[in-house]
Amino acid sequence: MILALETSCDDTCAAVLTPEGVIRSNVISSQGVHDQFGGVVPEVASRQHLQLVNAVVDDALTTAQTTLDDLTLVAVTQGPGLVGALLVGVATAKAIASVRGLPLAPVDHLQGHVAASFLPGVDAEGTGHTPPLEPPFTCLVASGGHTFLAHVGDHASFDVLGRTLDDAAGEAFDKGARLLGLPYPGGPHLERLAADGDPEAFGFPVSDQLAGYDFSFSGLKTALLYKLRDLSDAEAGARRADLAASFQRAIVEALARRVERAVLTTGAERVSIGGGVAANGALRARLAGVAGHLHIPPRALCTDNAAMIGAAARHVSALEPGEYDDLDAYPTGRRDL
């Protein structure tokens, strides 16, 4: 059995997978303590990870109906992410593997989001299962921390086609939500508000002027800010759902048009999505027809989770005991896309 740990941001995650990559448990302990601060506080997140991590591991083992005795591999997110948060997972995984004499697979968090597509997905209705996706495919990963489009040629790596030049898509959702007076985390709140609005009511920029596959979302936030200034308080209040729907549409269009461009240019027949923003219903609907096959991971595999780290670990060369004593975490920004 593979035990995987993921602590790169504010979710404390552990999962157990079979050596063949079948998920036996996927435990996600969302901290919730950050809502009151309107964002993730790194030191608060790190403290919470340490409080929760051993219980989350126990929970993952129990749910998988297995024990530490059955483990053959320990996997852990090495980076990128909040380094203090990552270190809790890295120190924990190293210690478990070391005392048990097990190999350890350090996994890149972004490779993990790609590897979520190596696990079964859901159909368009979100009810039935679809088989795991095999490379090659085109993958869009969009979350609060990262947004990129990649060509996935094999199980162990990916080639970046384009990336965000400023804010991540999830960050844009959060910033838009804050401007609209919605609580943190903004993405799900904004999606709910947008459901009652007209996405065509306001024309927000979709960074079409950018050639290639890169993204930019900072101008979108500014456009919403100016729009809110132009409207009277009463009008802005009355049209919040329209503003949310139009804002969401701009993010979805920016993402979808790059995917379409990639499909047309590279002839990719299969597309997958990942990251927290891939849980967005409007994005899923918009992408449904862009390629011959769209792979959609279940929501629990889109947001940060340890099952995707375990899935990626199956294709990483693991370090043997004694080889990972000095393994360190790496922060956001060190790994250039």
Partner 1 sequence: MIVLAFDTATADTAVGLATGGAAARTARHTPASGERPGHVAQLLGLARGLLAEAGIGWAEVERLGVGTGPGSFTGLRIGVATARALAQAGGQELVGVSTLEALARGVASAPDVAAAPGRGVDPTVLACLDARRGEAFVGAWRGDALVFPPRAVVPEALAGLLAGRGAWRAAGDGSVRFRAQLEAAGAHVPPDDSALHHVSGARLCELALEASPAGHDTLEPEYVRAPDAVPKHLR
Which residues are at the interface with partner 1 (CB under 8 A)? Answer: 34, 37-44, 46-47, 50-51, 53-55, 57-58, 68, 83-84, 87-88, 90-96, 98-100, 171, 322, 324-329
Q: Of 289-318, which residues contact Zn ion (CB under 5 A)?
A: 304
Amino acid at residue number 133:
L
294 vs 334: CA distance, rounded Å? 31
| CA 271 to chain CA centroid, nearest Å | 16
Q: Are 164 and 151 in contact (CB under 8 A)?
A: no
Question: What are the backbone angles phi and psi of residue 170, rounded to the nearest 5°?
Answer: -65, -35
Write down the least CB distance from residue 170 to partner 1, Å.
12
Q: Of partner 1, Zn ion, none, which one does residue 55 interact with (CB within 5 to 8 Å by kind)?
A: partner 1
Across the beta sheet with 23-30, what order do the strands follow? 23-30, 11-17, 2-6, 73-79, 104-108
Q: By CB under 5 A, tell whether 143 contacts Zn ion.
A: yes
73 vs 82: CA distance, rounded Å? 24
Write down the least CB distance from residue 215 to partner 1, Å.
18
Q: Of partner 1, Zn ion, none, which one does residue 304 interact with (CB within 5 to 8 Å by kind)?
A: Zn ion
Write down the least CB distance from residue 144 to partner 1, Å.
10
DSSP state of 116: G
Instruction: Count how many residues are written for the chain.
Output: 337
309 vs 78: CA distance, rounded Å? 10
- Nearer of residues 6 and 253 to Zn ion, judged by Cβ: 6
Closest residue by Cα to residue 215 from 301, 298, 116, 337: 337
Token pair recorded at residue 138: 């085109």
Tell me how many degrees the CA angle 295-196-239 measures, rounded to the nearest 5: 130
- Nearer of residues 95 and 288 to partner 1, judged by Cβ: 95
- Nearer of residues 42 and 205 to Zn ion, judged by Cβ: 42
Write down the least CB distance from residue 286 to partner 1, Å.
27
Write down the least CB distance from residue 82 to partner 1, Å.
8
- Nearer of residues 235 and 328 to partner 1, judged by Cβ: 328
Task: Show the binding pattern over residues 84-123: x = contacts Zn ion (CB under 5 A), - = does not.
Answer: ----------------------------------------
151: helix, coil or strand? strand
- Nearer of residues 110 and 252 to Zn ion, judged by Cβ: 110
- Nearer of residues 49 and 295 to partner 1, judged by Cβ: 49
Q: Which residues bind Zn ion (CB under 5 A)?
A: 143, 304
